[in-house]
Amino acid sequence: MDELPIGRRVAYWRGRRKMSQQVFADRLGKSKSWVDKIERGVRRLDKFSVLYEIADILQIDVQLLLGKDPERRTDTMNCIDQVEVEEIRAALERYDSISAYFDAKPDPPPLADMGKAVTHAWLTYQYGRYGMLTRALPKLLRDAQAADAAYGGEQARRAANLLGQVYQIASSVLRKLGESDLSWLAADRSIAVAQRADDQLLAGIATTRVCNALLAMGRPRSALELNVRIADRIELGGGTDNRADRLSVYGILLLQGAMAAARTGDTSTVVDLLAEASDAARELGSDQNHYWTSFGPTNVELHRAAAAVELGDGGRAVEIHRTRIVNLPFDAMLPERRAHHLLDQARAYSQMGDMANAGEMLLRGDRLAASEIRCRPIAHEVMSEVLRRTRGAPPSPIAELAEHMGVGV
C-alpha cells in the first residue's frame, strides 16, 4: 500500500491547522529551513521525541504521522476532526452584533462576495463534500457575522438573510457528522436571524434544521410538532414570495415531519404527511431546488422510503425504490440526496438480513458522495453490521471501503 512520506504528512497537517512554516518552526523551536527540509524529504525525521512533539503541536495522534495516507482516513480529507469542531464552535459563539452596538462595527466583506461564497457553500454541501465545507465554515461564519453586524438599511435584511443561510449550512453538515448539539445551536441562531431578514420562508427552512437537530438528539415528538405547526403557517401565509418557493418550503416541512413521526412509530401520521407533501410536489410539477430544498416528486419518494426504514420496514423501503423511484429522475438529483437514499437502502437491506445488497448500496453511495458514507456515524453502524453478519472474509471492495471508513473488519 502506497504511503505518503512522513514529511509530506507533516506538511499536510500543518496546512490543515493553517500554520505557516515559520509559525510551526517557532512553536517547535526549530528554524524555518529545518521545517522546509523535513517537509521536502531532504532531512530525515527519525527521532520519536521530535515526532511526539510535532504531533502535540499539530493536535493529532502521532499514529497519523506514522500511518497511512491521510486521504484514506475518516478523520482527514473527507470528514472533520476535533480541532475543526472547536473552530466552528468558536465562530458560532461570536456575538459581533452586540459588540458592534458598543464599539466600532467590524469591517465586513461586500455583500455580493458574501452571496457568492454562500452559494458555493450550499453547492459544496449538496455535492457531499463535507470536509471541504467544514474547513471553510469558520471563516464563512465570521464573515457573515461581520456583515450582519455592519450593514444597515436595505442591506441589513440581505446581510441577515446570508447569515441565516450560513447558520443553516453549518447546522446541516454538523448534524451529518454527529455534532448534534452544535447543529442545534446553529439552527436556533438561523431562526432568529431569519426573522430579522423578514423572510418567512427562510424561517420555515430554518425550522427544519432545528427539527433535524432535535431528532438527532432523540426528541422526535418535539420535532414532529414544530415541523407541522410551521408547515401550517407557511401554507396559510400570504407573503409576496414566489408560489414555487412557498410550495417547496411547505413540502420539505411536511417531509421532515413525516420522518419525525416515523421515529415515534406513528404510521398513520407518516402516511398523512407524505400524502400532503405529494400533493405539494404534484402542484410544483418537478424536482426543483428552491431555498436549497431539492423538493419535488422524487424527493417525496426518497422520504417515503426513508420513513419505511425508520419504521423498521426494510422490505417496504426496497419495494419503494424498485417500483416507484426507478420511474422518477433519480439520477438527476444532487449527489448528497442520492447518496443519502442509497445509505437508507443499505439500512433497509440490513434490516432484511441481506448483507450483500446492504454492502452494495454502501459502495454505490460512496462512489456518488464519499463523505455521505465515510463520515456519517449511521453509515459506520451499517458497515459494522455488514462485516459482523457476513460469513467468512468480506468481499475486497467492502473490506477496502471499511478500511477507508475506519471500521474494523
Dump pLDDT digits (tens) for 55-96: 878 877 777 777 644 443 443 345 777 777 888 888 888 765
Enclosing H/E stretch for 142: helix 130-150
Res 399 pLDDT > 70: yes
pLDDT digits (tens, 9 = 90+) for 147-188: 999 999 889 999 999 999 999 999 999 999 888 999 999 999
Task: Please report where in the chains the cell 400524502 appears, as a residue.
Answer: 275
% of the chain exceeding 90 in pLDDT:
68
Residues 358, 359, 362, 368, CA torsion sign: negative
Number of residues that this document lists for the chain: 409
Q: Which backbone phi and psi does 263 adopt, to 5 degrees?
A: -65, -30
Q: What's the CATH architecture for 6-71?
A: Orthogonal Bundle (1.10)
Calpha distance 137→384 (Å, rounded): 30
Asked if residue 173 lies in contact with residue 161, where contact means CB atoms within 8 angstroms, the answer is no
Q: Is the pLDDT of residue 241 over 90?
A: no
Kindly report the average pLDDT of the chain as a whole number: 89
Instruction: Name the grid cell of 407.
Output: 471500521
- Rounded to the nearest 5 degrees, what angle is found at the Cα of 278, between the Cα atoms of 170 and 129? 25
Residue 206 — very low, low, confident or very high, per pLDDT cuts 50/70/90? very high
Q: What is the pLDDT of residues 338-389, one digit of tens each?
A: 999 999 999 999 999 999 999 999 999 999 999 999 999 999 999 999 999 9
Residue 235: name the closest of 188, 198, 276, 206 by CA.
Answer: 276
30 or 3, higher pLDDT: 30
d(CA 242, CA 403): 47
Which sequence spans correspond to the domains of the chain? 6-71
Distance CA 136, CA 377 (A): 22
| Residue 336: per-residue pLDDT | 97
pLDDT at residue 118 greater than cutoff 60: yes
Residue 100 has pLDDT above 70, yes or no: no
On whether the CB atoms of residues 168 and 205 are closer than 8 A, the answer is: yes
DSSP state at residue 342: H
Judge whether residue 321 has pLDDT over 80.
yes
Q: What percent of the chain has pLDDT over 70?
A: 91
Phi, psi (deg, nearest 5) at residue 158: -65, -40
Q: Which residues contact 317 (CB under 8 A, 6 or more apart)?
A: 305, 306, 308, 309, 344, 345, 347, 348
Distance CA 405, CA 260 (A): 28
pLDDT of residue 235: 87
- In the structure, what pLDDT confidence band is assigned to residue 3 with cuts at 50, 70 and 90? low
To the nearest 10 degrees (0 to 180), the angle between helices 82-92 and 154-176 is 150
Helix 180-196 / helix 82-92 crossing angle, nearest 10 deg: 30
Q: Widest CA span of the chain, in angstroms? A: 70
Give the mean model confidence (pLDDT) for residues 266-295.
97
